[in-house]
Amino acid sequence: MYYYYLKMGMSKMLRLKKKAKSSIRKKIRKVSLLNSLLNLFACWVLLFSTAIYFIKDYEQRNMELLSTSLSSSLIAATVFDDSYNANRKFNALGQQQMFDSAVLYAKDGHVIARWEHSQQTSYFWKYLHSWLYPNKKKVEIFHDQQVVGWLFIVGNDSYLFNFILYSVLILTIGMVLIFIFSFVLSSIMYRKILVAMNQITTKINHVIHTKDFTKRLPDNSLKEFQNFSDNVNSLISEIERLNNDLVHENKTLAIKAYQDSLTGIDNRAAFINQLQFMLSENGPYSTFCILFMDGDKFKHINDTWGHAAGDKVLQEVGNRLKTMVKEEDCVARLGGDEFAMILSKTENQHQVEEFISVIHSKFEEPIEIASDHAIPFSLTIGFTMADKDEEVSDILLRADSHMYLNKKTER
């Protein structure tokens, strides 16, 4: 079983390894290498084939000249059937590798002299020899305008071996040097492409990971990459606009979620959230005060002056209460004509009662509901001290009970 799972794991790793994607740098390098090799190989074959073709043409012309010269020097040996001098000439020229084989025939067909190269050669050189010299060169020997014999001669290709060897070596070295030069040159040219692509991918990755949509791709000297950069920059600009709109909308929604739409002060959700923070371990004060406030005879205002006048009263109440709290405190409208406060730096009941007296004095001035009319308005206030080890519901219940107790007493 262990061997089975090990085998499965190894095969999975191999599949993943096979699926691993290569970089564009490697792809470009492979294409460049392959292109250079194919072009150089084609050039090598073309140059080598051209050289061999001209060698064959040169060798044919050389054989014409050699056979003509040799036949002229063998006239006397043919007429007098002088095999000694003929063989001596053949041997001297053959040793100099002027030809591969030569046979001198008399007019009656018998052999006067013969010379052949006895060296063993490979199949390739035999094939090359037969391509260069497909047939024996036949030359008629004339004396007094009559044919007195025939010379059959086959050229020697021993020097061709050295030529091919050195030409292949020189061509190969030259092609290798050209290949190295072209590879370096193409690498320099491709580097511009890779640098441009790296700049684009780096900027895009930066935008993706940092969400910084203010960055833009730089200009590029290559037309295609410049067009691509312009398109990407346009896309980033559009994303930046949409992101800014989304951020603004989220901020607006967050403000609306924790703000009373009529008075502009905090709503019940913001008040509860602040109270939970004050009771948490991160809360800055161990003891603080909660105030609950309820408008007196607010229903009478709505019934007498209308809901528009009632809304003006609530707005003015919110404005007056907001001016009385510090930055770290909270004032909120819980709903209807109910308001609440969190006083963070109030440590005892005496300080709370003094603050409540200030609130009452603040509302001694009537609230103007029209340009020529103002009405009196007062608040019934209840409070409770809160500690970190208490529950939110218990604190709210205590403050609310105290407020309604005061309302009954005032009646």
Domain boundaries, the chain: 25-161, 268-410
CB contact at 8 A, 128 and 120? no
Q: What is the pTM of this model?
A: 0.47
Can you give the pLDDT of all 411 residues of the chain as single tens digits?
Answer: 444 444 455 455 445 444 555 566 666 667 777 777 787 788 878 877 787 777 777 777 877 887 888 888 888 888 888 888 888 888 888 888 777 788 888 888 888 888 887 665 666 666 766 777 777 788 888 888 888 888 888 877 666 667 777 777 887 887 788 778 877 777 777 777 777 778 778 877 877 787 777 777 777 777 777 787 788 888 888 888 888 888 888 887 877 888 898 998 999 999 999 999 998 888 888 889 999 999 988 888 888 889 999 999 999 999 999 999 988 899 999 999 999 999 988 878 888 999 999 999 999 999 988 878 889 999 999 999 998 888 999 999 999 999 999 888 765
Phi, psi of 10 (to 5 degrees): -65, -40
* Short-list 358, 338, 354, CA closest to 346: 354
- Judge: domain 25-161, CATH 3.40.50: no
Structure tokens at 346: 């109030």
Task: Using the Cα atoms of residue 315, residue 318, residue 324 and residue 326 in order, give the sign of their dihedral.
Answer: negative
Structure tokens at 41: 């190989």
Say yes or no: do domains 25-161 and 268-410 share a fold: no
CB contact at 8 A, 134 and 128? no
Phi, psi of 341 (to 5 degrees): -135, 150
Q: Can you tell me the distance from the alpha carbon of 359 to that of 351, in angstroms, rounded to the nearest whole number?
A: 13
pLDDT, position 294: 93
Place of tokens 């004396």: 143
Cα separations (Å) of 83 from 112, 169, 171? Answer: 5, 44, 46
Q: Can you tell me the distance from the alpha carbon of 217 to that of 197, in angstroms, rounded to the nearest whole number?
A: 11
Q: At what angle do helices 223-257 and 158-210 cross, to 10 degrees?
A: 20
Q: Which CATH architecture has domain 268-410?
A: 2-Layer Sandwich (3.30)
CB contact at 8 A, 197 and 222? no
